[in-house]
Amino acid sequence: MKLTTIDHLVYFVKNLKAAEKFYTALLGKVEYRDAEQIAYAVGETRVFFALPYDKKAGKQGADKIGFNHIAFGVSSVAKLRAIEEGLDKLKYKHSGIMLDEYAQEPFIWLDDTDGNRVEIYCRTA
């Protein structure tokens, strides 16, 4: 047995409005919305941002056991530069374009409004 797709991902956030502003800048229009969650289409995968069921939920960190980061992909350096310019325009703090030391591919790191690590990765090969 081999699974071949990721159907959806769900991330709990503290502030749905702040998450929507941040992720709409990266992913475009919201595909689904209700009082508790929003969802975006990223290729065939749906990415949901929702208020937690447990309102006392703690914060995960990028360097702790568990989820580390989500990487969204682009297909050209020009697209990555356009994203960098958009992040700058919105005044989102980010790493700038860096080079992956292993695959030698360019990427940008930043944290979302809840401190979750987000990567925009350019796979040219």
For the residues 86-104, what does the mean pLDDT come to? 94
Distances (CA, A) of 94 to 8, 21, 30, 83, 116: 26, 16, 23, 11, 13
Which long-range contacts link 86-92 to residues 24+ away (Cβ below 8 Å)?
Answer: 86/25, 87/25, 90/25, 92/22, 92/25
pLDDT tens figures, 55-78: 666 666 555 556 778 999 999 999
Which pLDDT band, with edges at 50, 70 and 90, does 102 fall under?
A: confident
Q: How confident is the model at residue 20 (pLDDT cuts 50, 70, 90)?
A: very high
Place of tokens 């502030």: 15
Q: Which of 112, 107, 47, 48 is nearest to 83 (CA)?
A: 107
Q: Give the up-direction half-sphere exposure of residue 90: CA atoms within 13 A in the CB hemisphere.
A: 18
Percent of the chain with pLDDT over 90: 66
Give residue 44's Cα distance to chain centre. Answer: 15
